[in-house]
Structure 1
């Protein structure tokens, strides 16, 4: 893509949406208040802005994306809210994990269930469960067995997040959002980069990225990425380590055909991550606690460990008529091992909850969990797309098929908790709660050093095989010069067969589920477009009932309408959207009941209905000024019995500016993530009476605003040093409040210094 140039033809009066953009681009335009405000003032010379890189990224935005409909569309042409976290954004914000990336994403909120374990990413009032890598379905959930806990952003070029249902491509119309990670791929030129980071709590991180052509003409090329991190924590007894590597190869069979293959490895381990929220909200007498953020009553042997190994391949062919064939395959093998202990509130049997701490150090009970799983997922997708002529106009079409098969295998364990000269009764399923865990002598002194949890396999195991197949098609019809219509549909087959540890089989099947998609875009002028879209929701659930069967799939509808704008040849994009979602059959906790394997049991809820507003802006205000920001207003028209985990108002923003003149080697940045309070529920355990609770309690999850800042200095043309500061004003806030009468503190102020070089 060539550097852009703007002609006087692009001038027009400023609308309210463009007012702040024009102000940033040319403040003098506002000095002459007697003159009309004209967009001539935002003209950019040929050399002002650099062209897109080889991946189509333009700083804080992208030229195009296929993540919504499978058609290659610009953000303005896409009739849904689409956010891209680009490589430059990740570098500027020192982002290396999926959690960090989604914490900066407009419209997405984060709620943790424990440290280093289950994390619930949410959008528009619902949990995100649709994860992809390079468009292929991936077990990306951050839970006790999902691959999300090991995802390492150093291996990925960017992340596309489509808010709202996206069942056309994924097969599951998740009403929240779909997350598609785009893997780093080789290019034809030699180059690379390396960095070293040191930060708060002895954080040490190293990484290297090498693009290596293996033939003189670049037809055979490779990309290698390696990274590692070791860090302590502000919490007692906690440390983290991660490792990742990528080897990606491409070979041009001819000018039109490219073959790709590669392998990646991702590893993460959290020591001191417990089972559940690690800070109690109430003492045994019902009074509210006020514990230090460092409080973390876990044993030294508590950990969660996650490994994902992925082999992938691709074949891309371009035909002479501009049509393209794209075939992708991948196999991911995930291993998860959890050996966790934590003093917390939990079930005491009979619908009652105990283990509340007393202020004198007594009352705490050590809970324990041991589990492991091996998950293999095989995915394939083939797409055929291109333009066609009809009635004198050019249109786009796409047809495809994708298939994923997941086999999850979990052995059964029996465990005994020992300590203080005692041993618990053996626990089949290895879950120790308030009624069978071991009491601590003094929670203020941590877990007694002789406490341990001994686990052994019984020889039995459970196995779940899931198959998701779909045939889909979509077309973008250019009805008139300003009006385009996207029509698509998908037919999905879903099956899940579970064999319990007792050998009992259960099966869930849904065949021929049709998911329609309709989108309309109307160009008001060269800058603004109106749009609307509709799609159905179909989303199978993995939650189990008291009988061990799966809760029936979620069904519903998703609507969105709004206005989008694009400036500076697509380098700046903005949107304002109204959305509405209806959902039935969502799984909710079944009043403290357990599954046959000892997990929390769920039942079909009453369903939810939400609507709200999304505002977003991303890209370049000037050649030296990048920004992305988003505001979401969320309204629950109907809420199920699990209550709320989402703020009504969510605002995120980040900006960087490269100075000029003598300080032109210095870039400064700042950002904020703010949300209002949540009227949540402490569930299933609540505020105790006489040391015991028998039900949920309404709680107020306080709102907060977390500020960050960065500074980067260009030491040489190839080397930079940067400083990132998070939670700049050391705000006390929670990343969970109310789960089993517990809470989890967010990170205090922390800093990191990074030296990076490129070649």
Structure 2
């Protein structure tokens, strides 16, 4: 029975395989209060919102084995993931500068002590094909050195012409047992996504409909979208005894990004003539993270403690340049002429940003009795950001340099009471923060945005097979930047957002072979302070959201191993942006699966968007992020 004072959802590997998810954002669609914001021009990346707050712009919000790792652009190979944990609510005490909605932590597949070999092949519509391997086992006779190698190649076309996509993943890892109490894990992960003429987004027409799904809304000749990620690091653990453990993590993430395409919508005339921004963006994002902590268990009289004390440090360096093409011809969607390539590119801006973060934290989980647990802790962060550049030629000038130093304390208090072995009641208070970088008229720095959360909930097991969690929360985020009403080129810090909601999730085995994951979320996300939009709903956040994923597998007889899966996903209507002048329609999507598992043989057919529903995941004004069309993928794998 879980005793956490937070709402946490764990998505195991079996569910990821049953649904045959291809991206991390797709993997978390069954979690309440998590709303998919769409991919990034077809790449297996993107962002979500949790409890009404956008997630993915900070690498501290997407974790790899509890270590800050990726933002919404980075490629996250789904084949390396063992399970996904979604921690909803303010989480700054453990992870630092994050949005108050929560964080996503993916637990990767580790080397195994027994030989394991899997070969798999997937194929689907739009020319999709993906061969992959997963090999693991001991490298030495004594089993002290273990390895794992996960690799795959993926390519596909799309319903739009010109689009060709490739994804390469290579992920070796090594575990060295230095003794009964000491372990050292090394990993490296290479992922490269390449699209020559990337998928284009859609546009809203004057009647609220979307441009044709198979229309390539842009010029394919300058098209190129490529992301390369290198991840490497190690994790060291040493148990001094059964009550004291030392843990140390070090991680490096190196990313290169090229965006050379058209498709940034500027204007639409007569629902026919479109003007685009065409340009070339390049960036490199290098991140370094180190952490050391001690986990101790001890007693003071009759009271038991689990004490965590630690320190972490990180460095992030982003180098970003952009150019644009002048005099781009008007695009006629009724008679598209794709024969265009820019003659020249004009420098637009060049920016270099360096952010350092140091933090110390302490947390104590106190067992006041067998039924009552108290958690109390705090974290203090020291942040410094150094941004140079902006307009072309400013990178080397001292006038363009902006330095900002911030410090913030994030407390957390939680209480769990178990009236029985199957029921837990919890309540918690926590704060979060995020550094706010912007430009004020007087040049002064902004205060960090602060999130404050109150949450109560109940977790229960019933029928010996099912578990349920019901949570209610209020989160207020202050110190939000808004446009300066005296000069919109600058910002002022008076904004506030408040999110109140209720979440329900049920999961487990209804009957032998029949499993379900069901969720519902009500979210009232409101702009509570703003000179223009106060009282409006937060853009992109629905009040109602629900999902159901259920599978049944025949347990005996000649058809043993044959299974069926059904997924239902509902997201209600929501405003496109803070002005609330445009309302995005709610949508309902149906997924289905048919699979057969016998011994070490697995075969499956997965269908996403069974009825080819067409809707906008997000967008405002003329710009729209569209959902994926009907997709069918067949897969087969062998383990030996």
**TM-score, normalised relative to structure 1:** 0.77
Paired residue secondary structure (1:452):
coil
Structure number with greater Rg is 1
Paired residue secondary structure (1:106):
coil
Q: Which residue does 1:556 correspond to in 2?
A: 451
Q: Which residue does 1:731 correspond to in 2?
A: 613
Task: Answer whether contact 2:361 2:379 (CA < 8 A) is retained.
Answer: yes
Paired residue secondary structure (1:586):
strand
Q: Which residue does 1:163 correspond to in 2?
A: 88
Aligned counterpart in structure 1 of residue 25 of structure 2, from 99, 112, 117: 99
Aligned counterpart in structure 2 of residue 281 of structure 1, from 205, 221, 226: 205
Per-residue CA deviation, residues 299-323 of structure 1 (Å, 9 max, x unaligned), is 2232321111011112111122432
Q: Which residue does 2:415 correspond to in 1?
A: 520
Task: Answer whether contact 1:298 1:447 (CA < 8 A) is retained.
Answer: no
- How many Å apart are 1:541 and its aligned residue? 3.5
Paired residue secondary structure (2:25):
helix
Aligned counterpart in structure 1 of residue 473 of structure 2, from 546, 556, 579: 579
Aligned counterpart in structure 1 of residue 581 of structure 2, from 689, 693, 698: 698
Aligned counterpart in structure 1 of residue 330 of structure 2, from 417, 439, 451: 439
* 1:132 and 2:42 aligned: no
Q: Which residue does 1:475 correspond to in 2?
A: 364
For 1:155 and 1:551, locate their aligned partners in 2 and report how far apart those are by CA, in whole Å: 39
Paired residue secondary structure (2:215):
coil
For 1:216 and 1:630, locate their aligned partners in 2 and report how far apart those are by CA, in whole Å: 47
For 1:209 and 1:104, locate their aligned partners in 2 and report how far apart those are by CA, in whole Å: 26
- How many Å apart are 1:80 and its aligned residue? 0.7
Per-residue CA deviation, residues 62-90 of structure 1 (Å, 9 max, x unaligned), is xxxxxxxxxxxx6x211111111221111
Aligned counterpart in structure 1 of residue 71 of structure 2, from 115, 124, 141: 141
Task: Answer whether contact 1:404 1:467 (CA < 8 A) is retained.
Answer: yes
Aligned counterpart in structure 2 of residue 297 of structure 1, from 211, 217, 227: 217
For 1:153 and 1:125, locate their aligned partners in 2 and report how far apart those are by CA, in whole Å: 25
Give the 3 Å change call, closer, same or farther, for CA 325–675 of structure 1 in structure 2: same
Q: Which residue does 1:110 correspond to in 2?
A: 36
Q: Which residue does 1:23 correspond to in 2?
A: none
Per-residue CA deviation, residues 404-425 of structure 1 (Å, 9 max, x unaligned), is 11011124x54445xxxxxx3x
For 1:307 and 1:546, locate their aligned partners in 2 and report how far apart those are by CA, in whole Å: 38
User: RMSD between aligned alpha carbons?
Assistant: 2.6
For 1:622 and 1:231, locate their aligned partners in 2 and report how far apart those are by CA, in whole Å: 39
Task: Answer whether contact 2:33 2:52 (CA < 8 A) is retained.
Answer: no
Give the 3 Å change call, closer, same or farther, for CA 168–325 of structure 1 in structure 2: same
Per-residue CA deviation, residues 136-165 of structure 1 (Å, 9 max, x unaligned), is 112x222xxx42xx1111112111110110
Paired residue secondary structure (2:576):
strand
Q: Which residue does 1:757 correspond to in 2?
A: 638
Aligned counterpart in structure 1 of residue 385 of structure 2, from 493, 496, 499: 496
Task: Answer whether contact 1:193 1:758 (CA < 8 A) is retained.
Answer: yes
Aligned counterpart in structure 2 of residue 259 of structure 1, from 184, 197, 211: 184
Give the 3 Å change call, closer, same or farther, for CA 452–268 of structure 1 in structure 2: same
Aligned counterpart in structure 1 of residue 376 of structure 2, from 487, 502, 524: 487
Q: Which residue does 2:341 correspond to in 1?
A: 451
Paired residue secondary structure (1:103):
coil
Q: Which residue does 1:197 correspond to in 2?
A: 122
- How many Å apart are 1:270 and its aligned residue? 3.6
Paired residue secondary structure (2:268):
coil
For 2:97 and 2:87, locate their aligned partners in 1 and report how far apart those are by CA, in whole Å: 13
Per-residue CA deviation, residues 340-378 of structure 1 (Å, 9 max, x unaligned), is 20273x2xxxxxxxx21335x4x3223213111111100
Q: Higher strand proportion, which one?
A: 2
Paired residue secondary structure (2:176):
strand
Question: How many pairs does the alignment contain?
Answer: 620
Paired residue secondary structure (1:748):
coil
Unaligned runs of 5+ in 1: 1-73, 347-354, 418-423, 425-436, 596-600, 684-695
Paired residue secondary structure (1:292):
coil
Paired residue secondary structure (2:613):
coil
Paired residue secondary structure (1:319):
strand
Aligned counterpart in structure 1 of residue 500 of structure 2, from 605, 611, 627: 611
**TM-score, normalised relative to structure 2:** 0.91
Give the 3 Å change call, closer, same or farther, for CA 342–545 of structure 1 in structure 2: farther
Task: Answer whether contact 2:406 2:447 (CA < 8 A) is retained.
Answer: no
Paired residue secondary structure (1:729):
coil
Aligned counterpart in structure 1 of residue 13 of structure 2, from 83, 87, 91: 87
* 1:748 and 2:638 aligned: no
Per-residue CA deviation, residues 486-538 of structure 1 (Å, 9 max, x unaligned), is 01111111111111151321111113x21111010000101001001111121
Q: Which residue does 2:309 correspond to in 1?
A: 399
Give the 3 Å change call, closer, same or farther, for CA 375–291 of structure 1 in structure 2: closer
